[in-house]
Chains A and B, each alone.
Chain A
C-alpha cells in the first residue's frame, strides 16, 4: 500500500509569497517531485469560486491525487465581534463547499477566541460546540471529517481541545493534530483526523510521535508542514525522507 504521506501546501508559503508557486505547481510538486498526496492550505487558493475550485479538482484528478486535508484560515468560529463571527461562519461554509468539491478527506476550521487566551468562556464554548456539530453533521453527509487544529489561542491547551471533542461527540468530527512533542499529543490522539509534522518533530521525536499515534489507531495521513519560508523544496524533501524512513522501518519490522 502506498504510504499515506502528504505535504501541507503551507510548507511552500515562502515561494507562494514570492509568486514562484501556485496551487497547480504545488500539485505537480507533490505528485512528481515528492510522490506524496495533496494537503491544501486555503492561503494557496486565491478564491473559493466554484469554477476555480473545479479547475483544482480536475488538476487533482488528472494527477490521481487525494486531498488529505483542506486547512482553512480565516474561518475560525469564535470572534468577539458578532459581524466578524458571522463573516467567518460564511467563510467556513464556503470552505466546506470547496472541500466537498475537492473531495477533501478532512477539513480544518479553527475554534477561535483570542490569540493569547488559554481558556474558552462558556459562551464561546457553547457556540464552538454548536458549530462543530453542525459542520460535522454536514461532513458526515459527504464522507469527510471536520474539526480544529491545536493551532492558536485556547485550542492549543490540550484540556480545552479534549473538552471540545467530548462535547461535540461526533464521528465526523476530528482534530488536526499538530505534533508538539509533549504529552498533549497523546491526549488528543483518540480524535486525530489529520497531522502536521513540523521540522522540530521530523528532526526530533518523530518515530515516538508517529508510533504513539499509530498505536492509538490512527489511520489518516502523515502531513508534513514546514515553516521557515526558505529553501522550502530542499527542507521539505528532508522531512519527507525522515517520515518515509519511519514508515519503512515499520514495514520491515
Chain B
C-alpha cells in the first residue's frame, strides 16, 4: 500500500531555499523510503517542458510514482471573466505538466469566494462544464482530475457531492483533505465524498484511533489510491512521525 508525503509539507524549507523539487524527491525516496512523490505545483521551479523533463528524469531515476500534482492558482471560478480565462489557461498548462510528469491524479480547485458556502447556478454550471472537459482529457491520458475540499464552497460536503454527481465521470475525483469541512454536515464530510476520492491529504493532528478510523472508512468505501499525508509546514522529524503513524495503520491491516 502506497504512502505519500505532499511536498507542501516542506513549504517553509522551500521558501528558505533549503529544499528544491529534486531535494524533495531525494527526501521522500531515501529519507522516508517512500516509492511515491506528491507534488504541490509551487515546489516546481517552472512548468517549462525542459524543466519538467528533468523532474520526470528525477522521478524515473528514483523509481517514484507521482501520485498527485496539486495545483494552486488554477481554480475554475473567478468572478472576473478575464481572471477566469487566465486560470483556465493555467489549468491547461498544468494538465500538460501532469501528463509530462505521469501524474496519477491532478487537483484543480473549483473556486469561488473564499467564504462562500454554496455555488451559484452560474458558478456551478461553469465549474461542471470545465471539470467534464478536464475529465475527458484525463481519461484519454489515464489519470484523474478534480477538486480538493480546500476552501470556499468546495469545502462543504453536500456541495462537493453535488459537483461529483453532476460531473459524473470516472476520470473525475476528489482530493480528500480529511476532516476539513464546513457547514452542517462537516463532521461527516469525509464519508459523504468517500465514493469519489482519488487521493488524500490525511490530517495527522488527530489521535491514532481517529486516523485509523478515517483510513478504514475510505478503504471500506473502495479507496485504492495512495495514502497521501499533508502537514502545514513540518520539520523532517515531524514528517517522519506522520509517515510512521500512517504506516502503523497499514501494518495493522496487513497483520490483521
Tell whether, in the assembled complex, residue B18 and residue A55 are in contact, meaning their CB atoms are under 8 Å apart: yes
Residues of B6-32 at the interface with A, using a CB-CB cut-off of 8 Å, are 13, 16-20, 22-23, 26-27, 29-31
Q: How distant is A62 from chain B, measured CB to nearest CB, in Å?
A: 7
Partner among B16, B22, B54, B57 whose Cβ is within 8 Å of the Cβ of A25: B22
The binding surface of chain A is classed by DSSP as helix
Interface residues of A in 168-206 (CB under 8 A from B): none
A20 touches B31 (CB 8 A): no
Does the CB pair B58–A28 fall under 8 Å?
A: no
Taking residues whose C-beta sits less than 8 angstroms from the other chain, chain B's interface range is: 20 to 34
Interface string of B149-169 (1 = CB under 8 A from A): 000000000000000000000
Q: Does A21 touch B at the CB level, under 8 Å? A: yes
Taking a contact as CB atoms under 8 Å apart, the answer to whether A33 and B22 are in contact is: no
With an 8 A cutoff between CB atoms, is A250 at the interface?
no
- For A22, give its contact among B20, B30, B61 (CB under 8 Å): B20
Q: Do residues B26 and A22 form an inter-chain contact, with CB atoms below 8 A?
A: no
Interface string of B48-86 (1 = CB under 8 A from A): 000100100110010000000000000000000000000
Interface string of A1-45 (1 = CB under 8 A from B): 000000000000001001111101100110111000000000000
Of chain B, the residue at the smallest CB distance from A28 is B26
Number of A-B contacts defined by CB within 8 Å: 45
Q: Are A29 and B30 in contact (CB under 8 A)?
A: yes
Residues of A within 8 A of B54 (CB): 18-20
Give the docked Cα–Cα distance between A28 and B20 (Å).
12
**Given A55-B17, A62-B236, A233-B61, do A22 and B22 touch, yes or no (CB 8 Å)?**
yes
Contact in complex: A55, B16 (CB < 8 Å):
yes
Consensus secondary structure, chain B interface: helix
Q: How far is the CA of A15 from the CA of B27 in the complex (A)?
A: 16
Q: Is B22 touching A32 in the complex (CB atoms < 8 A)?
A: no
- The verdict on A33 contacting B30 (CB below 8 Å), with A19-B54, A20-B54, A20-B58 known, is yes
Residues A29 and B26 in contact, CB atoms below 8 Å apart: yes
**Interface residues as binary, A216-237 with B (CB distance below 8 Å gives 1, 0 otherwise):** 0000000000000000010000
Chain B interface (Cβ < 8 Å from any Cβ of A): 13, 16-20, 22-23, 26-27, 29-31, 45, 51, 54, 57-58, 61, 236
